[in-house]
Chains A and B, each alone.
Chain A
Amino acid sequence: MSKQLNYSKIGLLVGLECHQQLATRTKLFCSCKPRLFKGEPKVTFLRRLRPTQSELGQVDPAAYFEFKKGVRILYEADNETSCLVEMDEEPPHPLNPEALEVALTVALMMNAKPVDEIHVMRKTVIDGSNTTGFQRTCVVALNGSIEVEGKAVPIEHISLEEDAARKTGAEGFEIRYRIDRLGIPLIEVTTGPVIQSPREAQRVALAIGRILRATKKVRRGIGTIRQDLNISIRDGALIEIKGVQELELISKVVEYEAKRQLGLLEIRDELKKRGVTEDEIRGEFHNATELFKKTKCRVLRKAINQGKRVLAVKLPKFSGLLGREIAPGMRLGREMADRARFWGRVGGIFHTDELPAYGVTEGEVDRLKRLLKAGPEDAVVFVADTLENAADALRAVVERAKEALRGVPEETRAANPDGTTRYMRPRPGAARMYPETDIPPIQITEEYLQELASRLPELPEEAVKRLMVEYDLNEKLAKQLVDSEYLGLFEDTVRKAQRVSPTVVAATLTETLKALRRDGVDVEEVSDEQILEVFRLVDSGRTTKEAIPEIITWLAEHKDGTVEEAVKELGLTVISGDELRSLVDRVVYENEAVVKERGEGAFGFLMGVIMKRYRGRLDAKVVSELLKERLKSLYRG
């Protein structure tokens, strides 16, 4: 499947929904700090979310199913990062004006038209990620447009919404969520479905991200920007893929999804060719527990020992199609397993396309096929769990098999870190947006908009140019800085630590931090104030620029530590005066032979030895002067 697709031929259309957390002082609907907490929760409480009827009296089937099964949500909280508002124990406070201002600023930068009166809505979400059972969200502006490499990309909506709680675990019927993230302001930028290739999707996301960062009011770090992708191909379906956290992954996710849809269409055609009809897929479940009584498959044996059952179902003429790879790592069998997990809460499924394996023997497969009267062209799917779960799981498998006859089922999928996706839930119905009656509408005046327009932040391209001129940065560094979310800190640092070269500051904030992150250092733990303090120490000569990576690493690992402590602990205070002099003497003495041979020409070599041994603790300029002096005196002597 590595062949290059012709995306325009298959009619690929992609729309982006870019979500970015804002770095406001407080959350969107209360005065809590927009921060996460680590460690054990101080408060826990248990809730059940009951699917409510839409205005037509309908109840979302997936939601009702979850509820009926008795799914409960255990919420975790502490008193710093959440209050009664996040607990849904107090009505929301008025919309945070600081967040609104950022959203309106972005809207104006994207040439969008702010709405005259903002109405906060409730978008039904009952997976537990919102304590209320809905997400509060509002459209701030409509009909914008940005230019990406010469093409105008329409921006349909710019919205402001509350971030959801984060999932911290699930056990049986109990899901755990932490509500610290709930209520952090998110700006959502939605493009029209006009993007025609994976690479273009990535470039548009980058361009949107740059504009958002230009406000200097965005949070940074893993998870603070998330992309949802709406992807369709001709004859396929509109698939919503949620939660792509890394920009680099976007093109891969789009590519895989296009392939997945193509692969599913091929399977549809193949099934048609084989003459399968929906009525044929009957969903008769057979108890195959007896057959696996003596199996060597550990998963099955364990389940049977726990008194669970093995249920099996025949999928007529599906042989070979469940195991066929439709996109890297994605198979119809796996899609069925995802559905079975969601609807049946089972660990996974077995299917004959992948057997014999996992300790299941050829003999067992044969007997199973005989039990279900399955021929060589048929596939058999089976699952081991309680009777209820197993039946729910197989019902979901059968439903997915029927959908395979129709092509690509509409669904919401979640992105995996490797670019593949998995089934998340059915696509929610259209009528799930209701007014938030607890928050009065907010009117946006012309005067306010004019005032905002008069102080818009500079666009990313302008910033790059200005950085090159003003601070003498090269273009690459300037661009990296503008893309890095650290532009504000850079300008602050350069102003307050004037003896440090801007290039050093810029390289530290981009390349150094990136390298540290790659090495697994949790750079996000280090505050802007701390980074500034590090540069101040360099500025005053108390430590050196070479010591910066070590200090930042130490700070990331010592949450409550100060910069002073880091320098002390790491022994990174600058060596100077007599200590430095004797150090230089020692190195000259140790390398007497070289000095004798090369005389003053040994300077470069000795300098290298010293700096290597005491890197981070020496001011190279001072060392060089001392060394020159010493060599000169020796030579003369």
Chain B
Amino acid sequence: MGGNHDLPSLPGYKGEALKILREAEAQAGDLIRIFKDGTSYEGVLMPRSEYGDERHIVIKIRSGYNIGVRVTADTRVEKVGAGAKVTFKPPPPPKQRPNLPRVSILSTGGTIASRVDYRTGAVRPAISAEDLYSIVPELSDIAVIETEVIFSLFSEDLTPKHWTRIAETVAKRIGEGVDGVVITHGTDTMAYTAAALSFALQDLPVPVVLVGAQRSEDRPSSDAALNLIGAVSAAAEAPFAEVVVAMHETVSDNAVAFHRGTKVRKCHTSRRDAFKSVNVNPLARLADGQLTMLTEDYRKRDHDRELTLKPNFDERVALIKFYPGMNPRLIDLYVDLGYRGLILEGTGLGHVGRKCFPSIRKAVERGLIVAMASQCIWGRVNMNVYTNGRDLLALGVIPLGDMLAETALVKLMWALGETDDPEEAKALLRTNMAGEVSARSIYI
């Protein structure tokens, strides 16, 4: 969105349409009349989508419908009246109850923390405490909320540098003594950020909850409200002190699942329950206002525990998905680019074709850390079963057990961010830091 910087009065308009509107001295929001082909159309001038062409003017006619009117040689526009100034007056926020737990909500962008400005068509962040309270008044019964916008980005535009900033901000808030932190986030890469924070924020005293929405908040059917209620409830009161993702458990609006940050993956493009815990059960769930732990194996909330912040990531790590016929030169390319680590997303139990072996050998010899996760998503790599696997082990490829490939990428970036010593980084990679690997494969 955005892109309307140069002409805020006529957002989105270009070319012929812009020219004729300028001549009529019309602005978005004005009542205008368009004459053409012997008829006329009257309505409120609306902004044009920036993907729209240059030949149509969009007006909202009296019945509330929008229509686009094509500008032709004989089209004339007349401004009938200035637009009524639209002011957004949110309902008064509910009363704060000072003895409730304190929760900090940090906004990074995405569907959950945005609302459409119907006059300009732009999406603006809705993240002041007042905004949130007015959207989800129930929050005021759960916690005293303080909010901060760290940045406002689609999650696919985030980089490891943003993870660092988020981690530092969370650490600051926790240092100030909040009872929990909620991070609103676009869902596309929320699982990567969750993994990154899991490694960067060690010895957490309180919960850090990432939350998103698959349906924007301005729709009556949005999943944002329930997810937010779940996230704030967990931040305020959950017994665990871990980085988790809070999203719908099913397609129904009755339960929120909390997934461990290192074991969660977005597994559906559009469903509310897109996020799934992989190879483990979710950590907890919230239904009917009741939070239930689903495992006994978790770090407990403890205000007195001292947070250790390790927020550095080295971006010179790549995730390479093997596929039939993959050109081994792709691996060489990363080596030549000076990369320090490669996560191979291999087939099945952890394999790549033999054609790739020379390139992998070269990478290892050049000092790159090369590790293996599986593209099957579910299950554990085991490279002792087939010859190819054994040969890869012999080349120095590190098997990563039941770790998710995305988590493995983030972890290696973090390990290499923490240390310049490859051996030390390898040791970190092999150590369970934040529940990213489990020794047992339970049947789910």
Using a CB–CB cutoff of 8 Å, the interface residues on chain A facing chain B are 45-53, 55-57, 59, 63, 72, 84, 87-91, 113, 115-119, 121-124, 126, 131-134, 137-139, 142-143, 156-157, 159, 430-435, 437, 440-441, 443
**Contact of A117 (CB < 8 Å), options: B69, B222, B269, B270:** B69
**Contact of B64 (CB < 8 Å), options: A117, A118, A430:** A430
Given A45-B252, A116-B68: A132 in contact with B90 (beta carbons within 8 A): no
Q: What is the number of residues of chain B that contact chain A, defined by CB distance less than 8 Å?
A: 51
**Contact of A434 (CB < 8 Å), options: B37, B39, B118, B222:** B118
Are B65 and A139 touching (Cβ within 8 A)? yes
CA distance A67 to B56 in the complex (A): 40
Given A55-B118, A88-B221, A132-B220: A118 in contact with B68 (beta carbons within 8 A): yes
Whether, in the assembled complex, B58 has its beta carbon less than 8 Å from a beta carbon of chain A, the answer is yes
Are A52 and B251 touching (Cβ within 8 A)? no
Q: Which residues of A contact B121 (CB under 8 A)?
A: 435
Q: Which residues of A contact B89 (CB under 8 A)?
A: 56-57
The 7 closest A-B pairs by CB, nearest first: A133-B220, A117-B68, A433-B64, A116-B70, A119-B66, A55-B118, A46-B252
Are A441 and B254 touching (Cβ within 8 A)? no
CA distance A138 to B217 in the complex (A): 23
Given A116-B69, A119-B65, A433-B65: A48 in contact with B251 (beta carbons within 8 A): no
Q: Which residue of A lies closest to B90 (CB)?
A: A57
Whether, in the assembled complex, B294 has its beta carbon less than 8 Å from a beta carbon of chain A, the answer is no
Nearest Cβ distance between residue B127 and chain A, in whole angstroms?
A: 15
Nearest Cβ distance between residue B55 and chain A, in whole angstroms?
A: 9
**Contact of B251 (CB < 8 Å), options: A56, A87, A122:** A87
B64, B86, B270: most-surrounded residue (chain A CB, <10 A): B64
Q: Which residues of A contact B218 (CB under 8 A)?
A: 52, 434
Instruction: Jot down 29 A-B pairs with beta carbons below 8 A, ordered by A.
Output: A46-B254, A48-B253, A49-B221, A52-B217, A52-B219, A52-B220, A53-B90, A53-B134, A57-B90, A88-B221, A89-B251, A113-B37, A115-B67, A117-B68, A117-B70, A119-B68, A122-B219, A124-B220, A126-B220, A133-B220, A134-B219, A138-B65, A142-B67, A159-B65, A434-B118, A435-B46, A435-B121, A441-B68, A443-B70
Q: Which residues of B contact A55 (CB under 8 A)?
A: 86, 88, 117-119
Nearest Cβ distance between residue A131 and chain B, in whole angstroms?
A: 6
Nearest Cβ distance between residue B239 and chain A, in whole angstroms?
A: 27
Using a CB–CB cutoff of 8 Å, the interface residues on chain B facing chain A are 37, 39, 41, 46, 49, 51-53, 56, 58, 60-61, 63-70, 86-91, 116-119, 121, 134-135, 215, 217-222, 225-226, 250-254, 269-272
CA distance A50 to B216 in the complex (A): 12
Nearest Cβ distance between residue A593 and chain B, in whole angstroms?
A: 78
Are B86 and A56 touching (Cβ within 8 A)? yes
CA distance A49 to B134 in the complex (A): 16
User: Can you add 10 more A-B contacts, CB < 8 Å, to A55-B117, A89-B251, A435-B121?
Assistant: A45-B251, A46-B254, A56-B86, A57-B134, A90-B270, A117-B67, A117-B69, A117-B70, A119-B67, A134-B220
Given A116-B56, A441-B52, A443-B68: A84 in contact with B90 (beta carbons within 8 A): no
CA distance A116 to B219 in the complex (A): 28
Q: Which residue of A lies closest to B252 (CB)?
A: A46
Are A132 and B65 touching (Cβ within 8 A)? no
Q: Which residues of A contact B90 (CB under 8 A)?
A: 53, 57
Q: Which residue of B lies closest to A438 (CB)?
A: B216
Nearest Cβ distance between residue A128 and chain B, in whole angstroms?
A: 10
Q: Which residue of A lies closest to B215 (CB)?
A: A88
Nearest Cβ distance between residue A139 and chain B, in whole angstroms?
A: 4
CA distance A84 to B274 in the complex (A): 13
Q: Which residues of A contact B41 (CB under 8 A)?
A: 142
CA distance A157 to B272 in the complex (A): 36
CA distance A46 to B272 in the complex (A): 12
